[in-house]
Chains A and B, each alone.
Chain A
Amino acid sequence: MSSSLPTSFAADAPALAAALCALIACGTLGNWLVLRKEAMTGDAIAHAVLPGLVAGFLVTGTRSVGAMFVGAALAGIAAILIAKWIRTRARTEAGAALGIVFTAFFAFGVALLETQGARQVDLDPECVLFGSLETLFYVESPDASWITGVPRQLWSLAGAAVLAVLFSVAFAKELTLLAFDAPYARVASKSPRAIESALLAIVSACIVASFEAVGSVLVIALLACPALIAAPHARSVRGQILLSLIIGCAIACIGYLLAAQAESVFGAKTALNSAGMIAALLAAAVPLSHATRKLIIHQRA
């Protein structure tokens, strides 16, 4: 977690950029999850990737992005599949199965982290929950090009954002049909299962990419809230996604600045946790957005 506060905008820029990339990645995919009534699946994956992340590190012995990424994505997908198995096998509601599986994965992850890798992985469980946006700095070095100064997490977040948007644009039709009317989609085409698996894999990948920088609090908020803010006003899926990203980005900027400038805004002693601030604001915007819609309808009538 950060100890001191960067004051200039240049110092804030990487963290804000990371938050916005995470918003585009998770926010776009979150629309599909919300339309499929699977908002909590994102929450479950966000907790369940932890043991994979740690195991990826332990197996390769380095903090290589690749290994941790693969480990985490595998853990996320495994958790969802096991939850499905428990749901049918143990006859519990979907939510209970998710809750059982993601707590087990997370517990295992925390245990691994604390016993095996705490020092080496340089990842403390608290960071996993609340993120470490504030520690993303632009490192200036006179002899290298500007690119090397950009924090590593920002690159993977930007990649995740591009991946999420490309996937959503390319398979917009198929994802829409599956979310609206899955039985029809399953009869009309053989491929829906492949697309559902791809969605799951890409959600996992984006969560992993976002996880390290923004923490699970913000990941959960980013997956559910932007889509739910846009939902009451949307008249088409494309409209909902665009609206969710626009409002989401605006709220993320406000939240980040409020937290980073907490000393001057609230008279706090230090900067506040920006991931948490953005998450809370996004969530608070959901009922507000619904109230606005009612107001608009009321005024028209």
Chain B
Amino acid sequence: MIFGANTLTVLAGCALFGALAGAVGTFVLARRRALVADVAGHATLPGVCLAFLAGEAWGIGGRTPWLLLLGGAVTALIAACCVPALARLRRVGSDGATAVSLAFFFGLGAVLISVVQSHESGAQGGLRKLLFGSAAAMNSDDVTTLIVLTLATLIALSVFFKEFALLSFDEPFARVSGLPVRNLDLVLTVLLVATVVAGLQVAGIVLVVAMVLTPAAAARQLRGSLTRVTVMASIIGAASAAGGVIVSSMFERVPTGSAMTLVATLVLLIAMALPLRARLAVGA
């Protein structure tokens, strides 16, 4: 196995990310925000490129992890907030809004990545790894950033767990009982963006959405209470992420993001194939 940093630390960091993605994914699915997660993933690209260029310009190096992730988070958050705003336009709808937001930010990202590529700097190669993810290319700074960001997001998620649970289960009731629904949705979007950004190094810009959606969908097959589904989603997410890292280290050329996505999809298919009784047993 070839890893840039301590193997076990990378593996632990990736598993932690998988757990976070699964937990956040449960609420993303419940709030019907699946494709917003897709937009957020793709929309990190222009921000990451801008951060790279800024880092080069400021002389702190283009591949500064926290700067890249901050840049990605800013554009991803803007893109995610654009979706509901565009959806309000006549004849656009949520479907069209998602496509437009994705096209704009990913298109902008494509333009900016061509700017980055024209830059005379040896560091731009690292940026290409962000497209499909590469755990092998992570250095110790990357791993530290990943673990800190993931833990912070997990803590934030657990703080709001009760409110999210109520919101996902029964929005009208949540409204009537005085929950600030709009602000909570914004918090969920922020957590989603944090998750997506945390996963960029590991799962990559294009496929990070799979780690949010697929483990959560698999966990939903196992029924049970929301808490149990969330926990199951975290376990499946962590297992898929760790499995993906191991698979991609065995087949060196397979990007980590691809491997994780395929492992998670396999778990989903197995969960769907289980007879109902077995699902209930696992869920209980």
Contacts and interface: CB of A to CB of B under 8 A. Distances in A.
Does chain A touch chain B in the assembled complex, meaning CB atoms less than 8 Å apart?
yes
B103 A106 contact: no
Chain B contact residues: helix, strand, loop or mixed: helix
Interface in B85-127: 86, 89-93, 95-96, 98-104, 106-115, 117-119
Interface string B23-62: 0000001001011011000000000000000000000000
Contacts of B111: 259, 272-273, 276-277, 280
Interface in A107-165: 107-108, 110-111, 114-115, 118, 125-126, 129-131
B238 interface: no
Interface in A220-278: 220-221, 223-225, 228, 231-232, 259, 268-273, 275-278
Nearest to B212: A99
A283 B104 contact: yes
Given A104-B210, A106-B206, A283-B107, A228 B253 contact: no
B118 A269 contact: yes
Query: Main SS of chain A's interface residues?
Result: helix
Chain A, interface size category, equals 35 or more
A177 interface: no
Given A232-B90, A268-B118, A286-B92, A39 B220 contact: no
A232 B119 CA distance: 41
Interface string A1-21: 100000000000000000000
A195 interface: no
B220 A104 contact: no
A47 B106 CA distance: 14
B103 A282 contact: yes
B254 A89 contact: no
B34 A279 contact: no
Contacts of A259: 111
A129 B99 contact: no
Interface residues of B, number: 59
A71 interface: no
A104 B214 contact: yes
A96 B113 contact: no
A96 B29 contact: yes
Contact of B91 (A47, A220, A232, A278): A232
A112 to B, nearest CB: 9
A277 B111 CA distance: 6
Contacts of A106: 206-207, 261
B106 A220 contact: yes
Contacts of A293: 90
Interface in A90-113: 90-93, 95-96, 98-100, 103-104, 106-108, 110-111
Given A1-B117, A224-B100, A272-B115, A107 B90 contact: no
Contacts of B131: 125-126, 129
A284 interface: yes
A83 to B, nearest CB: 11
Given A37-B95, A39-B96, A43-B102, A130 B113 contact: yes
Given A111-B255, A268-B115, A221 B107 contact: yes
Contacts of A201: none
A100 B90 contact: no
Contact of B104 (A38, A47, A279): A279
B75 interface: no
A152 B99 CA distance: 29
Contacts of A92: 29, 34, 217, 220
B249 interface: no
Contacts of B128: 126
B259 interface: yes
B164 interface: no
Given A92-B217, A115-B254, A223-B99, A100 B104 contact: no
22 contacts: A40-B99, A42-B99, A90-B220, A90-B268, A93-B32, A96-B217, A98-B35, A99-B35, A103-B207, A106-B261, A111-B262, A126-B131, A220-B106, A224-B96, A269-B115, A270-B118, A272-B111, A272-B115, A276-B114, A279-B103, A283-B104, A293-B90
Pick the 7 closest A-B CB pairs, nearest first.
A276-B110, A279-B107, A283-B104, A224-B99, A103-B210, A280-B107, A221-B103
Given A93-B29, A131-B110, 20 more contacts: A37-B96, A40-B35, A47-B206, A89-B272, A90-B221, A93-B32, A95-B32, A98-B34, A221-B107, A224-B99, A224-B100, A224-B103, A228-B96, A231-B92, A276-B111, A277-B107, A279-B104, A280-B104, A283-B101, A286-B100
